[in-house]
Amino acid sequence: MGKKAVLGPVSIPIFDRAGQIVGRYDFDLAELAPRINKQLLHDVVVMYQANQRLGTVKTKGRGEVAGSTRKLYRQKGTGRARAGTRRSPIRRGGGHTHALKPRDWYYRLPKQAVRLATRMALAARIRDQEVVLLDELNFAEPKTREMATILKNLGLQGQQLLVVSEAYNLVTHKSIRNLDKVTTLPVGDLNALEILRPRRLLMTKAALDEFRRKVKATQRTAAEPKEKSATLEPVGVG
């Protein structure tokens, strides 16, 4: 699980709505992440799945079930096994041993680790040729049939698919929402779990450009404090 795969340059074919190659998208996957850390991806996916748990399970212990706490019969002289209250977990209608209680499963990993996992997840899907790049995906009005035709032309019909757009578009969303096994998200809502869950990803060229722009902006912001601290003069010298 801890093995890391180094990333390099890739060339992704760009398709049009008819399924024809109209160009190529060349860039270095190292821009997204220097390597794939499977352990980090696993940890982040487990975090997202744990945070989706409701935690509303509840069973009654021996102190919560109905019934008297009186000893059922005397300790000795009956010839039967000794017994206490009818609420005992070994009796029918008694409480549960180690009764389950509602709990909050929510926890968070460091923000930088979660962001890095998102970039690693997309880089891994691109490296494994599981991302289909589309030149554009715009509709004048909601047309589910037109979207289904596009998927058929791209060979994606019937597959569990995530369609990634540059930004939220109501018309595009309505054209996709009734298709079986197909979901859609804007770039800003992507995370490691959403990227790794479907079998394939369909991204527009603009969506991939926007993702790379966000990565560069994040890296530039993270580097600024280090540059400032490097220019500070030492304190207490001389």
Are 152 and 182 contained in the same domain?
yes
Q: Quick check: pTM over 0.85?
A: no
Are 75 and 123 contained in the same domain?
no
Query: Which domain covers residue 74, as residue numbers?
Result: 58-101
Neighbours of 65 (CB within 10 A): 19
Alpha carbon distance 43, 113 (integer Å): 10
- Does 175 map to a domain? yes
Q: Which of 83, 101, 119 is the last residue of a domain?
A: 101
- Does 238 map to a domain? no
Phi-psi region of 97 (alpha: psi -120 to 50; beta: other; left: phi over 0): beta
- Does 34 map to a domain? yes
Are 97 and 115 contained in the same domain?
no
Domain count, the chain: 2
Are 132 and 149 contained in the same domain?
yes
Are 117 and 13 contained in the same domain?
yes
- Does 234 map to a domain? no
Are 146 and 220 contained in the same domain?
yes
Q: Are strands 35-37 and 9-15 parallel, antiparallel or unpaired?
A: unpaired
Are 119 and 179 contained in the same domain?
yes
Q: Which of 41, 76, 101 is the last residue of a domain?
A: 101
pLDDT, one tens digit per residue, over 6-54 is 788 999 999 999 999 999 999 999 999 999 999 999 999 999 999 999 9
Name the residue with higher pLDDT: 173 or 5: 173
Question: What confidence tier does 227 reach under pLDDT thresholds 50, 70, 90?
Answer: low
Name the residue with higher pLDDT: 206 or 221: 206
| Residue 40 amino acid letter | L
- Does 128 map to a domain? yes
Are 198 and 151 contained in the same domain?
yes
Are 75 and 36 contained in the same domain?
no
Are 14 and 118 contained in the same domain?
yes
Considering the chain, what is the average pLDDT of its residues? Answer: 91
Q: Which of 86, 101, 116 is the last residue of a domain?
A: 101
Question: What confidence tier does 2 reach under pLDDT thresholds 50, 70, 90?
Answer: very low
pLDDT, one tens digit per residue, over 72-88 is 999 999 999 999 999 99
Are 25 and 113 contained in the same domain?
yes
pLDDT, one tens digit per residue, over 93-114 is 999 999 999 999 999 999 999 9
Are 77 and 172 contained in the same domain?
no
- Does 143 map to a domain? yes
Q: What is the pLDDT of residue 99?
A: 95
The dihedrals phi and psi of 80, each to the nearest 5 degrees, come to -100, 165
C-alpha angle 140-206-194 in degrees, rounded to nearest 5: 95
The burial of 162, by beta-carbon neighbours within 10 Å (0-12 exposed, 13-18 middle, 19 or more buried), is given as buried
Question: What confidence tier does 224 reach under pLDDT thresholds 50, 70, 90?
Answer: confident
Tokens for 56, please give them: 């509303």
